[in-house]
Structure 1
Amino acid sequence: MAAAGSAVGLGNIWGFPTKAAGNGGAAFVVVYLILAFLLAYPALMAELTIGRHARRNMVQALQAISTGPISRLVGTLAGYSGIIVASLILSFYAIVAGWMVSHMAEPVSTMLGMTGASEWMTGGSTERNLIFTAIFSSLTMLIIMGGVEKGIERWSTLLMPSLLILLVLLIVYVLTQPGATKGLEAYLMPNFDHFNPQMLLAAMGQAFFSLSIGVGTMLIYGSYLSHQESLPRLGAVVTLVDLGIAFTAGLLIIPAMYVAQEAGTDIFAADGSLIAGPDLILQVLPALFETMGSVGLLVAFAFFTLMVVASLTSSISMLEVPVAFSIENLGLSRKVATILVGLAIFAMSSLIIFNFDTLFGLVISISTEWGQPLLGVVLCIFAGWIFNRNQLLTELKQGDPHIEDSLFWKIWPTYVKIVCPTLILMAFAQTIL
């Protein structure tokens, strides 16, 4: 549940519908689903397997399986790069999650008649962004201080099912509203005239971002796993849960866009591009909740509360990457490591907030569209070329004694060694050229 919680978060409910709406709707969905299975799942398995074998953070894990000075240097650089990329992701992620916290508080202030406070909470001021980013960052740090079982695992297990239930209930409501049918058509009826190399890169980046691949998150979660766990089965469950939540979120957000449009909210510009951009769900969903009358305030509070929860299950996994490194390599206590790393990342978030138009989109692109897939290539190479094949098989056998006879073992080692890195690099080449 913790691994699924890491995968399920704003990447599914904010990132996926926003990118789908801005990149051709159903065509993007098809490309995303294909790439999630062709590229993201094999890379996820590489992370989980290396992590459980090494029982260390990304830097030490890649160093441990290295076979010579060159592979050790590459592993060290990749490990540190993973920490940097995870920190970059969390720096913008905390800002978006802060928006969710402010929208969670807004219905309460509205019910109390505090109109001015409500308008400030849903505005885009620098002060609002700083305060709520700080609140969310503090919540993330508090959970990480609790460790794995008392912090990460407990919260993920309790809160993940609640999110899914509320999503389904909201979908049922949205699909009864005028305009929802157009949204379903846009989401479920592919038109590949919209296909282009940028869509390919966006879909690949979204798959890696959503599954938390390439930055050592899943490698660290793998290091916490029992040897009795079947890694291929667990990896498949995490991938399917992640894709299921993303697809379900799309069933809510995309039809809700067209419902809001039917009600008079401008969603698309004259050239067909999204007007809202990263603020999409913060414009569409409040407009939807307003159609529910007074009940809408309660639904808005419940929805954004669970959005904060979904954000936390992912942010704690990202913060765990640099924190685990600080504990294992620098000898810091969990509390001290969490505070120091958390404050450093908040400083990065503050820099983005003060230079929002310049840095926000740039940091997202560098970290998720480029950093994560390229680090995924390195992890695939380490799993396929550096990690001794017999050791790899021994590690996988611990959770499944008969895996040597399975279809997974007949395909995955060669696939992760050659096909997966080649496909990722081809996608980059196609985009660049």
Structure 2
Amino acid sequence: MAARGQFSSRLGFLMAAAGSAVGLGNIWGFPTQTASNGGAAFVLVYLALAFLLAYPALMAELTIGRAKRANVVDALGSVSTGKTAHYVGATVGLAGVLTASLILSFYAILAGWMMSHMIEPIATLAGATETGTWLTTQGPGRDIIFTILFSILTMLIIVGGVRDGIEKWSTRLMPSLITILIALIIYVLMQPGAMDGLKLYLVPDFSGITNPDLLLSAMGQAFFSLSLGVGTMLIYGSYVSEKENLPRLGASLTLIDTGIAFTAGLLIIPAMFVAQEYGTTIYSEAGELAAGPGLIFAVLPSVFDGMGATGSFVAIAFFLLMSIAALTSSISMLEVPVSFVSEHFNIERKIATFATGTAILAFSILIALNFDTMFGFVADLATVYLEPLIGLAFCIFAGWLWNRNEAMKAIAAGHPDGESAWFVKVWPWYVKVVCPALIITMLFPTVQKLFS
């Protein structure tokens, strides 16, 4: 078997891991969840959970990954020497592989929408209005074609491995994403109605802050946006050098992720109210978000149309941004099953990539053909329920089944203060007691509702 890859630098890891975290979960999912759950109250809960829960859980994945230097199945299977724990760990790892594959299956469809909407202004400017209409009209034909294109692009990057694939493209795409995002925010905030959206986004209504649905959505969003609970960060951790300060890397990644999620909200939420100025219905009479998962496709075209000739170029820039965000995340999700298949079964990486990528693509096509019944179900199953549950399992493995001394030694590697650092001392207890308690507390009302 070929030697495992490794990130060449701290910047390479941060760009790759941030690329995984900063995707449609931030730029599509976070603003949609914010708009659906009362605005600023959701933002506050999300930010709190990102640091009180998601960051320690992230450290569990990164630490196990770097210590075990293996794919998610073999890494969790080797956390404990006990035979039962080995099989349970491998099962949890397989659940992570399945969840990553489920997320990528619906994610590729969303990414295909971004690509088709990016091409539409070009087709319209060229006079191909019928093609432009087809590109922006949801249907199995369009969805399948662009899902295939996006999936192939993802597979081609993953074939390159860690340095020549994931790291190389992440360090190129992430700066482009941030630049386009900031430029669009500046423009939208100067439009009529933007300040109403900014008020919703930044001024909290604390009356709904303890709503169980809001808490569960915020936790799911924190896990989804940081790519937790599927093994992505465990895999990326396995490619990090022993010389790196892991707690600092994890904190930097959490700050980048939440920062870009918050920044994306500064674009999408004000843009909703700008679109409302142009006559687009944002909320139903019942106060629910009218567009649902298609929020940005309902909101932004009317904003772009109101810009006149400039709007076409802004639309291209925005959906290019969304396509880049989708790609930086999809390559990390595909890496989870690819690393498992290639390492566990000793299969050449190129073969493993196209075999697993094609299998996931086939399921994506099935979803596209049964969109109304499958898309929302698969998305909720994977991101709202499976990710937090598997994240809980990662915390249990790191806190309860992994030898405490070994865990402290693993997380302290590369830290200038070693095992005497306060974070290194506190983290094993925190991930053992506090993280599982928080996850169970927030999942309990929903589980209770399901069985009542």
The residue type paired with residue 233 of structure 1 is: R
The residue type paired with residue 60 of structure 1 is: D
In structure 1, the residue matched to 2:35 is: 21
* Candidates 333, 348, 357, aligned match of 1:333: 348
Distance in 1 between the 2:35 and 2:29 partners?
10
Distance in 2 between the 1:303 and 1:174 partners?
12
In structure 2, the residue matched to 1:297 is: 312
In structure 2, the residue matched to 1:406 is: 421
Contact 2:409 2:419 in 1 (8 A): no
* Candidates 252, 255, 258, aligned match of 1:243: 258
Distance in 2 between the 1:336 and 1:287 partners?
44
* Candidates 96, 102, 118, aligned match of 2:110: 96
In structure 1, the residue matched to 2:203 is: 189
Alpha-carbon deviation of 1:177? Answer: 1.1
Alpha-carbon deviation of 1:285? Answer: 1.6
Secondary structure in structure 2 of the residue aligned to 1:274: coil
Matched, 1:377 2:405: no
In structure 2, the residue matched to 1:55 is: 69
The residue type paired with residue 191 of structure 2 is: Q
In structure 2, the residue matched to 1:256 is: 271
In structure 2, the residue matched to 1:308 is: 323
The residue type paired with residue 179 of structure 1 is: G
Matched, 1:361 2:400: no
Alpha-carbon deviation of 1:171? Answer: 1.1
Runs of 4 or more above 6 Å deviation: none
Distance in 1 between the 2:363 and 2:341 partners?
18
Distance in 2 between the 1:349 and 1:4 partners?
25
The residue type paired with residue 440 of structure 2 is: L
Correspondence list, 1:47-126, <5 A: 47-126=61-140
Matched, 1:347 2:353: no
What whole-Å deviation, never above 9, does each CA across 1:314-340 have from its counterpart, x for those lacking one?
Answer: 000000000001101112111111111
The residue type paired with residue 441 of structure 2 is: M
Contact 2:272 2:282 in 1 (8 A): yes
What whole-Å deviation, never above 9, does each CA across 1:107-127 have from its counterpart, x for those lacking one?
Answer: 110111100000000001110
Distance in 1 between the 2:418 and 2:33 partners?
37
Alpha-carbon deviation of 1:35? Answer: 0.9
What whole-Å deviation, never above 9, does each CA across 1:371-398 have from its counterpart, x for those lacking one?
Answer: 0111111111111111112212222232
What whole-Å deviation, never above 9, does each CA across 1:345-378 have from its counterpart, x for those lacking one?
Answer: 0111111111111111111111011101111111
- TM-score, normalised by the number of residues in structure 1: 0.98
Matched, 1:424 2:420: no
In structure 2, the residue matched to 1:270 is: 285
In structure 1, the residue matched to 2:183 is: 169
The residue type paired with residue 288 of structure 2 is: S
Matched, 1:225 2:225: no
What whole-Å deviation, never above 9, does each CA across 1:276-304 have from its counterpart, x for those lacking one?
Answer: 11110112122212222212211211221
Contact 2:272 2:299 in 1 (8 A): yes
Distance in 1 between the 2:219 and 2:408 partners?
28
Secondary structure in structure 1 of the residue aligned to 2:287: coil
In structure 2, the residue matched to 1:394 is: 409
The residue type paired with residue 340 of structure 1 is: A
Contact 1:98 1:129 in 2 (8 A): yes
Contact 2:34 2:42 in 1 (8 A): yes
Contact 2:412 2:424 in 1 (8 A): no
Alpha-carbon deviation of 1:48? Answer: 0.2
Contact 1:47 1:222 in 2 (8 A): yes
Distance in 2 between the 1:111 and 1:269 partners?
33
Contact 1:67 1:386 in 2 (8 A): no
In structure 2, the residue matched to 1:284 is: 299
Distance in 1 between the 2:395 and 2:75 partners?
14
In structure 2, the residue matched to 1:4 is: 18
Distance in 2 between the 1:225 and 1:209 partners?
22
The count of residues paired between Structure 1 and Structure 2 equals 433
Distance in 2 between the 1:383 and 1:432 partners?
24
Distance in 1 between the 2:393 and 2:407 partners?
16
For structure 1, the 5+ residue unaligned runs are none
Contact 1:184 1:251 in 2 (8 A): yes
What whole-Å deviation, never above 9, does each CA across 1:196-230 have from its counterpart, x for those lacking one?
Answer: 11111111111101000011100000001111111
Alpha-carbon deviation of 1:191? Answer: 0.8
Secondary structure in structure 2 of the residue aligned to 1:235: helix
Distance in 1 between the 2:295 and 2:17 partners?
27
The residue type paired with residue 386 of structure 2 is: G
Correspondence list, 1:147-166, <5 A: 147-166=161-180
For structure 2, the 5+ residue unaligned runs are 1-14
The residue type paired with residue 327 of structure 1 is: S
Distance in 1 between the 2:387 and 2:381 partners?
9
Matched, 1:180 2:197: no
Secondary structure in structure 2 of the residue aligned to 1:246: helix
The residue type paired with residue 182 of structure 2 is: V
Correspondence list, 1:311-326, <5 A: 311-326=326-341
Distance in 2 between the 1:401 and 1:168 partners?
35
Alpha-carbon deviation of 1:103? Answer: 0.7
Identity among equivalent positions (%) equals: 61
The residue type paired with residue 50 of structure 2 is: A
In structure 2, the residue matched to 1:132 is: 146
In structure 1, the residue matched to 2:9 is: none
